Chain A
């Protein structure tokens, strides 16, 4: 579904942050991307999303080469991205955020997708005329996810969807992600909260210094003591 070959990417020329990342994400898979702070997880998903320059390697989506396509083309090519922060337009209402997310769809199709998102996230439907800047952390994350889902992407990448949420809300968000996968969407989830992410993921990847260090089924990674000790973040080491 999504395939990377030897991807090299970074913010400044000659300073690669992602250093030769290769991986395959299967159709309808949930893959979680773990790793220590500064490993380059965010940079990797941003590079795939067209926001960080790629200097070598390739990205394929459903067999199509989308390397360097430009962020605004990727939404139409079937790739969704939910950044970690600033992932909704705070000066626009919920309804405006969702309308804008599907502006390139035929209008009947767009309306159907917005209705589908209100069905998936009833909280959003109730507050549709509220400015997104006034939503709580949980509602905001729901809106960010809904925004990415509007154009019916094949693959959605989420950067730390649980960041800043209470443990209860983390469970709610992750349950939604399981539902979304059940509807046929492939998910790539960057997480600090390794436990919660591995609980819903099929496979996990531990990224270290810009390249995958461990790749394997989620249960194997969760029970691998070396991975836990070294790379699964503070929760496990504390």
Chain B
């Protein structure tokens, strides 16, 4: 039995990191919107789905010009996907900005925090059903091309080039975003607005602009998460909804407001899911996010990296 665990562990870790990186990208967006807007935004899961579907639609619509998804080396995608992703990012950003403008901005002025949360839950339901209405209930894939997994560690781990690319890109994004928040004026303005919006305004920061920037940034990360999942697995209408629990678990585990925390939280939740699927039963996957969430709330409610101050 122990031998079996050791032999399967490398693959479990690889699967966990892959799932975890998608969770991490989503959780970073969730933690950013929370820290600036101060409410749990349930529509973030739907932004992940819509980002993926927008990209897929752009790919189909633009095929006469871009000639399809493209092909880079052993990957199943190339320039075509990059162009479509650009369109998907714009679509998801406009969706997020429209939600803020039409729904959340009004409620921020007149409602309480709980009204915002309930409104975001309602909006997410509507957005999910809209996906079923527009794209149908079946899952869809970016490409039908079959990929051969490369064997690593003497055959103990099988990963596709797509999966490796997605892992690398996610890591690069997380590092880039951390640097952006730490060292750029926009990043500092975002941290300042998160801590104290009134003081940020006095300091000359247009906090309404910061809020829009955060929505766009969250939508960009969400679209990337959606497309990464679409490439390495598939798109389903419930994709975003099923991700909500792991996303919140990761964001809270990492300490709400902390980008490195959300990244690490995402990886931990991904690894825990992967271990549960391998060693318990595939049906336990969704329970894992819930267990992690309960555990962290009981043991350390501020998370691993509580935002300073």
Contacts and interface: CB of A to CB of B under 8 A. Distances in A.
Sorting the interface of chain A by its residue count into under 10, 10 to 19, 20 to 34 or 35 or more gives 20 to 34
Interface stretch (B120-128, B136-144, B196-204, B290-298): B196-204
A145 interface: no
A71 B201 contact: yes
Contacts of A103: 185, 188-189, 203-205
Nearest to B208: A72
Nearest to B201: A71
Interface string B10-31: 0000000000000000000000
A209 interface: no
B199 A86 contact: yes
Nearest to A96: B188
Nearest to A80: B202
A34 interface: no
Contacts of B205: 72, 100, 103
B195 interface: yes
Contact of B188 (A71, A88, A99): A99
B207 interface: yes
A47 interface: no
A72 B204 contact: yes
Interface string A97-133: 0011101100000000000000000000000000101
Contact of A71 (B189, B191, B198, B309): B198
Contact of B201 (A72, A86, A91, A151): A72
Contact of A104 (B204, B307, B309): B204
Contact of A90 (B195, B201, B202): B195
A172 to B, nearest CB: 23
A100 B202 contact: no
A154 interface: no
A101 B202 CA distance: 9
Nearest to B183: A96
B216 interface: no
Interface string A206-220: 000000000000000
Interface string A6-19: 00000000000000
A92 interface: yes
B110 interface: no
Contacts of B308: 90-91, 131, 133
A76 interface: yes
B182 to A, nearest CB: 9
Given A89-B191, A92-B188, A92-B192, A100 B309 contact: no
A103 B184 CA distance: 10
Contacts of B307: 91
Interface in B173-232: 185, 188-189, 191-192, 195-196, 198-207
A49 B202 contact: yes
Contacts of B191: 89, 91-92
B195 A100 contact: no
A71 B202 contact: yes
Given A87-B199, A91-B309, A131-B308, A151 B204 contact: yes
Interface of B: 185, 188-189, 191-192, 195-196, 198-207, 307-309
Closest 8 CB pairs of A and B: A75-B204, A71-B201, A91-B309, A90-B309, A91-B308, A133-B309, A72-B201, A72-B206
Interface of A: 49-51, 70-76, 81, 83, 86-92, 96, 99-101, 103-104, 131, 133, 147-148, 151
Given A72-B207, A99-B185, 8 more contacts: A70-B201, A72-B201, A83-B198, A83-B199, A86-B198, A89-B196, A100-B188, A103-B205
18 contacts: A51-B198, A72-B203, A73-B204, A74-B202, A75-B203, A76-B204, A89-B192, A89-B196, A92-B188, A92-B191, A92-B195, A99-B185, A100-B192, A100-B205, A101-B203, A103-B189, A133-B309, A147-B203
